[in-house]
Amino acid sequence: DIQMTQSPSSLSASVGDRVTITCRASQDISNFLVWFRQKPGKAPQSLIYAASSLHSGVPSKFSGGGSGTEFTLTITSLQPEDFATYYCQQYDTYPPTFGGGTNVEIK
Amino acid sequence: QVQLVESGGGLVKPGGSLRLSCAASGFIFSDYWMSWIRQTPGKGLEWISYISPGGTTTNYADSVRGRFTISRDDAKNSVYVQMNSLRAEDTAVYYCGRVGSTVKAGFVDYWGQGALVTVSS
């Protein structure tokens, strides 16, 4: 199975900050990567597919980049609702596999 | 808006069975592949199964193949997972998801809030 590694595993930031999360794949997955976020007790929310395309309704403060084995998720102007855990997932190869998550906390 | 609501979670003994249900609304259910994914504090997120529109094609993770069965009832806008021979390591929150794209291995674009399954004696 393809291993997905996220870094950092957690970070502290302030409202208004810009943060970047990295996701690395254990082999080339082209751009077959999604990002989503999860808040405690809530349904996960999709953010980005195909590494850089925004899901419907997701604001442009979220942006994704990368291809091959290294990918990034950048969030600008952090707001209180953005403090959550963010995950990547590859869909290049069965089975789909997930990163371990990055917890974005309020500083 | 798309809504997915899981039900049927609970406490079950090792070797026991449980059936989870997921009721969908806000989209044409019969047009979409559906999926089950689970999450544990230790192993994180794990995709476990897909089912095609009409239920003609299914796929399973190695960890559950032969023990879990995914099914759907398009008339009821619902997808199910029958879980047999449950083990302690099946303890997890189980999420139902709508498959947003079937390109390559596919991904979920809408998720439910999850159902907790605890396997313990």
DSSP codes of every residue in B50-93:
EE-GGG--EEE-TTTBTTEEEEEETTTTEEEEEE-S--GGG-EE
From first to last of the 107 residues of chain A, give the pLDDT tens digit. Answer: 999 999 999 999 999 999 999 999 999 999 999 999 999 888 999 999 999 999 999 999 999 999 999 999 999 999 999 999 999 999 999 999 999 999 999 88
- What does the mean pLDDT of chain B come to? 96
Rounded distance between C-alpha atoms, residue A82 and residue B61, angstroms: 32
Which residues from A are below 8 Å from B59, CB to CB?
94
Which residues from A are below 8 Å from B100, CB to CB?
46, 49, 55
Contact B100, B109 (CB under 8 A): yes
Of the residues A86, A87, A94, the best mutation for testing chain B's interface (the one with the most B CB atoms within 10 Å of its CB) is: A94
CB contact under 8 A, B111 and A43: yes
Contact B110, B2 (CB under 8 A): yes
What pLDDT score was predicted for residue B102? 85
Query: Quick check: B8 contacting A, CB < 8 Å?
Result: no
